[in-house]
Amino acid sequence: MQTSTPADGFSFVVASGLPDSSFGEQGTGSGLIVSFDTYDNAGGEAPAIDVFYKGREVATRKFPIAVLRTGDAFVQVGVRLNRNGTVDVYYGDTAVYYKLPLPNFTPIDNPRFGWGARTGGLNDNHWMDEVQIAVNTQPPETVLTIGLVGRNVQVSWSGGGTLQSAPKVTGDYTDVPGASSPYVTPATGTQMFFRVRQ
Ligand SMILES: [Ca+2]
Ligand SMILES: [Ca+2]
């Protein structure tokens, strides 16, 4: 069941508080939306693969409808939301978006994932299989700062991990036993180097 001109497309959504109600190719909510818009609503906006974030369109990229309409063939699609607030979208062999920055990015807590689609007078089929979702696959970024507090050296870092120190910048680095951030130690000796092992 599909019309020769397909409509309207489908969307993949990642958001906190994603409602149970249905939604269309434009997605819903204020999280990340990847929209596969197959129908030109007279605005010349489609066929296209679009990214929305926090309710605003971040990027749009046009494709011939023959690329988005694959008949009986499945096309591998990948969406990767990176910890630094960029998103990658793959469609078949095409990197549709790579390291696309999401403005005012904040991590999506308690995410819900959903797909939506919409039809009107025209319609289409969308098939999915082998769906895989993985979360928190990237280690947190570590930012290490060091400074003097009185006669002590204070080493602070974010993102957890184990503090290591070495007498030379090239090592050998060994774990600092029991050190947690902020780590304060007397400023003795001529030099000491620190790093954090994740
Ligand atoms: Ca659209
Ligand atoms: Ca459209």
- Read off the pLDDT of residues 18-66 as tens digits, 9 standing for 90 and up: 989 999 999 999 999 999 999 999 989 999 999 999 999 999 999 999 9
Confidence of residue 76 (pLDDT cuts 50, 70, 90): very high
pLDDT in tens, 91-108: 999 999 999 999 999 999
| For the chain, domain boundaries | 9-118, 144-197
Mean pLDDT of the chain, nearest integer: 93
pLDDT in tens, 150-179: 999 999 998 888 999 999 999 899 999 999
Separation CA 43–CA 170 (nearest Å):
59
Distance 53 CA to ligand 2 centre (A): 17
Contact 151, 43 (CB under 8 A): no
Which ligand number lies closest to the CA of residue 43?
2
Collapsed DSSP state (helix, strand, coil) of residue 151: coil
What values do phi and psi take at 66, rounded to 5? -65, -20
Longest dimension (CA), the chain: 79
Q: Both tokens of residue 58?
A: 């971040």
Describe the strand order of the beta sheet including 144-149 as a list of residue ranges: 144-149, 152-157, 183-186
Distance 177 CA to ligand 2 centre (A): 59
Outline where the chain has alpha helix (H): 65-68
Average pLDDT over every residue of 113-142:
90
Distance 50 CA to ligand 2 centre (A): 10
User: Taking Cα atoms as reference points, which of 135, 149, 150, 151 lies closest to residue 182?
Assistant: 149
Distance 51 CA to ligand 2 centre (A): 13
- Residue holding tokens 């819903």? 28
Average pLDDT over every residue of 8-13:
97
Proportion of the chain above pLDDT 70, given as a percent: 99
Contact 103, 83 (CB under 8 A): no
